[in-house]
Amino acid sequence: AVLAQRLGISTSPNARIPPVVKATYDYVDERGEFLFQVVRYVPKSFRQRTKNAQGDWIWSASGVRRVLYRLPEILASPEHETVFVVEGEKDVEALRSLGFAATCNPGGAGKLTEEMAGPLLGRRVVIVADSDDAGRRHADKVARLLYRRVTSLKIVEMPDLR
């Protein structure tokens, strides 16, 4: 308690726990050039950052082009291969670890734009919806963007996926 007080850390049970970086996810363009990074914290929260000309972090990605996560891999995957679209980077990494082509958009549910969706056109797409209202709305939005613009489109809702 004395050390905590000396360091200015509250020992109250209601004190806010400072966030700790859990993972970082780099977003790159078609050529693999760095655009921005999503930082995931514990307790769960997210921030985006990019680098300035000197290589220093800027805690904003405002004005930076938005692309799909793992864009070069999606573009390099065979056209007949199914691409899974999920809500977040953690889910992309889980599917990749199983050998699947997977992607998501930056910013989470509801943030996919027509421009970002371009690399999915003409592909086989499975949208994996989180099992909450935001996840279902996101899956529906993605499906509406891709409807009749892809060769195959399915929405799958996984129980307990959040």
Q: Is the pTM of this model over 0.75?
A: yes
Higher pLDDT: 108 or 36? It is: 36
Position 13 scores a pLDDT of 61
The model's confidence at residue 149, banded by pLDDT at 50, 70 and 90, is very high
- Tokens 């995931």 locate to 40
What six digits make up the tokens of 25?
């996810």
Position 3 scores a pLDDT of 53
Which whole number is the average pLDDT over 113-142? 93
Position 141 scores a pLDDT of 94
Which whole number is the average pLDDT over 132-136? 89
**What does the pLDDT look like over 97-114, one tens digit per residue?**
999 999 999 988 889 999
Report, in this order, helix, strand and coil percent for the chain, each rounded to 5: 25, 30, 45
Question: Nearest CA to 48 among 40, 65, 30, 71?
Answer: 40
* Ramachandran class of 99: left when φ > 0, alpha when ψ lies in -120 to 50, beta otherwise: left
- Integer Cα distance of 50 and 35 in angstroms: 7
